[in-house]
Chain A
Amino acid sequence: MVTIESILGIRIGGIIRGWADKIHEINKKYEKPRITMSRGVRLALLFLRLYLILLVLLLGYKFWTLL
């Protein structure tokens, strides 16, 4: 079986696996948002998502025109 340790070596692979496990553990720990998803909260989060998409598009456009 191909493992990350067999590709990168036991030491480096072990470190990367450790980090991946830690990130997985954090994702599991905070899987469910604690805050009640009221309409206001949902709207605010939707606004943030749209806002970030807009900014990413603007940044992408800037880099595209710079190239």
Chain B
Amino acid sequence: MDLGSTLFYKYQRFIKVLKIYLLLAGPGLIVMLADNDAGGITTYTVTGAKYGYGLIWFLLLLLPVAYVVQEMTVRLGAVTKRGHAEAIFDAFGSFWGWFSFLDLALVNWLTLVTEFIGMTAALAIFGINPLITVVIVSIVMMLMVLQGKYWTWEKIAMLFAALNIVYIPAAFLVHPSVGQVLSVGLIPHFPGGFNGTLFFFLMANIGTTIAPWMIFFQQSAVVDKGMKEKDIPWGQVDTLIGSAFTVLVAIFLVVVTGTVLYGSEVESAAQAASVMMATNPWLGTFIAIGLFNAGFLGAICISLASSWAFGEVFGWAHSLNMKIREAPWFYICYLLALVTAGSVVLIPNAPLVLITLFVQVIAVTLLPAALVFLILLLNNEEIMGKYRNTTWQNIAGATIVIAIIILSTLYGITTLFPELIG
């Protein structure tokens, strides 16, 4: 075969592989980019403003962490055809089932409130009234699910997920010194020495990387998409690409705020966007749109994770492939979550900061349980068959799970008792 034929053959093969991937891609990419939700964007913004490029190396470490945990949900969903809530009930009985389910419902609802806080704050920069934001967002989110096809919902969600990479062009607008980004950012060190504040930031960055809703969402999405055992490798590639993107977006955002806001006291992404708007309107606009999109993406995934979990536990029909009349409770749960969480943001003088802190603490009560159940389920031969964890997967999974449990617990405790870190 000559060179031209070989190249053409490889090109055709590549196109075929790409087409299959695009068919099966979705849950991994969406969950990972939604991981950079309003809370995540705020954490990265403040990290960049506080430590410049100094913690980029740490963000890179979060790629394998996110991948190892989320990859397990792909296998579990594809093999058992059950969401995580139902899998916990079935494997560990009703006590742990109810605990996980009720905790998830509470954490998700509180997190949904924080997504609305992010969205309303982002659009307020453009002078848009929070009421209008909440109403329009809720309508758009309802329309997304009411069209009656998982596939369509997924592709629309992927479009919003693609908007999440708005921070990459934003980084080019600030003209960072590439040499400095590489020399400061990629060499592991603790800027200003290891102290309580730095530790809190490290924990916050880990806390935003793995959240309980992500485990429940991806597993349910894999099931609703109808992925089978043979699709697991594609789901793994999807999750890996998603993990790479989530870290890339975080790094580029840190580069933006590390270049423009380094050394300034910034408390939120919305505040950062307002400050940037005054000096560079394009940049401020990018950051504000990114924050809104992050909140939106997080909200669509979190509200769906809750609705799927309700359906799984109560035995209601729960699929995006069903119409309202076929799965009324599924859509009622979804609508109720949106309306109630959105309404909280509109209450004058609502304790929004307290809610944001409370999310971190409550999430800590669920995350270890969800992770431990994941490892136990993935090790059960009766449930997983030949797809159970290998020794190396267990070593990687257990190490990461133990590290996340320790760090997220310390994060929750220091949120409760800030005086501990001085």
Contacts and interface: CB of A to CB of B under 8 A. Distances in A.
Contacts, number: 59
Nearest to B92: A33
Interface in B387-422: 409, 412-413, 416-417
A51 B368 contact: yes
Nearest to B90: A34
Given A44-B376, A59-B361, A34 B91 contact: yes
A9 B382 CA distance: 48
* B interface majority secondary structure: helix
Contact of B365 (A33, A40, A45, A55): A55
A18 B412 CA distance: 37
A27 B313 CA distance: 10
Nearest to B314: A22
Given A36-B382, A44-B376, A62 B92 contact: no
A31 B361 contact: no
Nearest to B91: A35
Interface residues of A, number: 23
Given A45-B96, A51-B368, A58 B416 contact: yes
A47 B416 CA distance: 22
B380 A35 contact: yes
B96 A26 contact: no
B201 interface: no
Contacts of B97: 26, 30
B372 interface: yes
A35 B373 CA distance: 11
Interface in A23-55: 26-27, 29-36, 40-41, 44-45, 47-48, 51-52, 55
B378 to A, nearest CB: 11
Max chain B CB contacts within 10 Å: which of A33, A41, A58?
A33
Contacts of A59: 361, 416
11 contacts: A26-B89, A26-B97, A26-B313, A30-B97, A33-B92, A35-B376, A36-B382, A52-B369, A55-B365, A55-B409, A58-B413
Interface of B: 89-94, 96-97, 99, 313-315, 361, 364-365, 368-369, 372, 375-377, 380, 382-383, 409, 412-413, 416-417
